[in-house]
Amino acid sequence: MVNQQTVHEVALNIAVKYDQLLNAFNEITLCAKDLFETRQYRELFSKQQLRYRLYGNYVREVLDDTHHQMGSHIDELAYWKAIKQEFSRLIANKPHRLNSETFYNSITRKVFFDKSFNADIEYFDYTDYAPAPKTGNEEPIYDIIDCSHFSPVVIKQFLKYFKFNVPFENIDRDAQRIFDEMAPTIIHQKSNLYLDRMEILKPVFYRNRGAFLVGRLFYKNWSMPIVIPLLNESNGIFVDSVIYIPAEISIIFSFTRASFFVYTKYPAQVIDYLKAMLTHKTVGELYDSIGYYRHGKTILYRDLMNYIHHHDDKFIVAPGIRGMVMAVFTLKYYNFVFKIIRDKFEAPKNCTREFVIKKYEEVEINDRVGRMAYAHLFENLEFPRHLFTHELIQELQSSCKDSVEFVGNKVIVKHVYIERRMTPLNMYLKQANPIDACRVILDYGFCVKELAAANIFPGDLLLKNFGVTRHGRVIFYDYDEIAKVTDCRFRRIPEQSDEDDMRGNVEMITAEPNDIFPEEFKAFMAPEGPIGEIFLAEHNEIFDPKYWRDIQKRIQAGEYLSFYAYDQYKRFHMHKDEK
């Protein structure tokens, strides 16, 4: 018989602990404004890692509490059915109800870790995304500037809305720059500069060195999103650019970047606002972008299950060269891939399963600077066997027995990373037209350089380990050999004389595991033909050990290098005190 007092205590503890988690999350998030104003960018990065770890810490704490409260009843379904009902009652009027449900599911998934999903005791929404219903108690998440037309005056009102404790370097200049950049596009789209209103999203989006202001312009049935990146240097705050093309804004909120610090009591409403601006961006990815990774994961799972139930699509081996560490599969028309660690790794790979898992964990909490894909870890996913092609079943049975179990007509995937699908770079170059091939091979070099500036050395620089997104950006996604640039020793290949060859003197070319010879990169980074020549003309320094040593020195000297979530050509003129 179910003890109602125990049911209430367990449900109340989960609800209260999530409130505490959210308060701790928001307390860290609130630090971002001060750290931006005081230019403490390294401290902001540390806070980001601290904030990321909060969720797992609270889940472990609540799980311990629940074991103590329930004792031998911990795995009884009757109890958990009642706990779910009580929990639903407790959170019914909370503005973060959906996130509370995700936290609850995190507890049940730990209790029933070896069981498939059970809708009687866990929350799952089978419907497609819809904006969060309004309860009438929420504060508006945006303000409105009523105006008759687009002008520097209106833009200045927008900028002055945010009360920073650091003055603008020259707010009139910046307002004029934004106007000069946007006015021709607005006139081209609607033949005038008339406006009904300008919306201002109240929360500021902080990340790295920047603060991003978000809003929209409206006139009758026409609208335009606007994102304004701010930087803070020795002379004060200034507008670095203005981004108003949805595809370019989408890159700012990419799955390849660390999350923003966005203080809000109403995360669902913020997501709804962003979704209205970025209609092609998944809701789960938007939640990831503001730090709610676990809820983003919940939505990714919901979307996956809905896709499977509503599409006649099968899991197939992912196109591309077979990975030595990961078995990768996907659904033909689905926008994500599934990566499973193989039981054994072929030579020359000599790492362990635990090592690979650790590398993926490092990527989760690192600043991915727009060049590394974020992968959600899922455990004990259950799928119908008929959804798997014969070829894929053979692949999984032969090399992934530790992670995949076939039970009757079901396939249970015990440990899998789900990651955004991209076209492998080597495949992209084979099918791309010459212009796109040149653009992407150059971005491949920029990708390597930006990772290096973030103290990340990819390890395996082969083209097949990089992918191309729908926006044409090159992203790294093979993490088993990544290392810190500062932990590597970049060396020149020793020159050997004829006398050395005759004597068999090989001591000169012995190498330690962390020794890197950049001159060797040229053989596989610069393809034969014109695109290889273009790569060499722009990125030849990558093959020089001195280039890498200089980056090491700058990082070791405490320099926090700059990263921009938008193209350099989008930036307004370089300020004299910028690096």
pLDDT tens sequence across 294-320: 999 999 999 999 899 888 899 999 998
Residue 81 lies in domain: 4-111
Whether pLDDT at 454 is above 90: no
Whether pLDDT at 574 is above 80: no
| Strand blocks (E) in 394-505 | 404-407, 410-413, 416-420, 423-424, 466-468, 474-476, 489-490
Total of domains in the chain: 3
Whether pLDDT at 508 is above 60: no
Say yes or no: 180 and 292 in one domain.
Answer: yes
pLDDT score at 496: 67
- Name the least confident of 108-117, 198-207, 433-442: 108-117
Helices and strands in the chain, H and E counts: 18, 19
* Of the residues 111, 131, 162, the one at which a domain ends: 111
Asked if residue 487 belongs to a domain, the reply is yes
User: With helix as H, strand as E and coil as C, how does 133-184 read?
Assistant: CCCCCCCCCEEEEECCECCHHHHHHHHHCCCCCCCECCHHHHHHHHHHHHHH
Rounded mean pLDDT of 446-475?
92
Confidence of residue 578 (pLDDT cuts 50, 70, 90): very low
Four-CA torsion 482, 58, 115, 326, nearest 10 degrees: 0
Say yes or no: 440 and 553 in one domain.
Answer: yes
Asked if residue 358 belongs to a domain, the reply is no
Rounded mean pLDDT of 263-285?
93
Say yes or no: 219 and 102 in one domain.
Answer: no
Say yes or no: 260 and 148 in one domain.
Answer: yes
Amino acid at 506: V
Whether pLDDT at 500 is above 90: no
Q: Please, is 571 exposed, middle or buried when counting C-beta atoms within 10 Å of its C-beta (0-12, 13-18, 19+)? A: middle
Q: Which residues pair with 382 in a beta bridge?
A: 412
pLDDT score at 513: 81
Asked if residue 327 belongs to a domain, the reply is no
In which element (H, E) is residue 247 found? helix 246-252
pLDDT score at 502: 54
Mean pLDDT of the chain: 91
- Name the least confident of 289-298, 402-411, 417-426, 504-513: 504-513
| Contact (Cβ atoms closer than 8 angstroms) between residue 370 and residue 251 | yes
Say yes or no: 27 and 105 in one domain.
Answer: yes
pLDDT score at 579: 40
Confidence of residue 576 (pLDDT cuts 50, 70, 90): very low
pLDDT tens sequence across 93-140: 888 899 999 999 999 999 998 777 788 999 987 777 778 777 667 789
Asked if residue 330 belongs to a domain, the reply is no
* Tokens standing for residue 219: 């006139």
Say yes or no: 65 and 183 in one domain.
Answer: no
Say yes or no: 465 and 559 in one domain.
Answer: yes
Say yes or no: 94 and 210 in one domain.
Answer: no
Whether pLDDT at 509 is above 70: no
* Of the residues 92, 111, 130, the one at which a domain ends: 111
Domain containing 525 — which CATH number?
1.10.510
Rounded mean pLDDT of 30-34?
96
DSSP string, 12-72: HHHHHHHHHHHHHHHHHHHHHHHHHHTT-HHHHHHHHHHHHHHHHHHHHHHHHHHHHHHGG
State the Cα–Cα distance between residues 420 and 42, nearest whole angstrom.
28
**Within 10 A of 440 (CB to CB), how many other CB atoms are there?**
21
Percent share of the chain, pLDDT over 70: 96
Asked if residue 471 belongs to a domain, the reply is yes
Asked if residue 384 belongs to a domain, the reply is no
Find the largest Cα–Cα distance for the chain: 88
pLDDT score at 325: 92
pLDDT score at 393: 96
Say yes or no: 298 and 152 in one domain.
Answer: yes
Say yes or no: 466 and 538 in one domain.
Answer: yes
Say yes or no: 436 and 562 in one domain.
Answer: yes
Whether pLDDT at 286 is above 60: yes
Asked if residue 51 belongs to a domain, the reply is yes
The residue ranking higher by pLDDT, 115 or 398, is 398
Asked if residue 121 belongs to a domain, the reply is no
* Of the residues 275, 305, 335, the one at which a domain ends: 305
CA angle 430, 432, 435 (to 5 degrees): 130
Confidence of residue 497 (pLDDT cuts 50, 70, 90): low
Say yes or no: 97 and 155 in one domain.
Answer: no
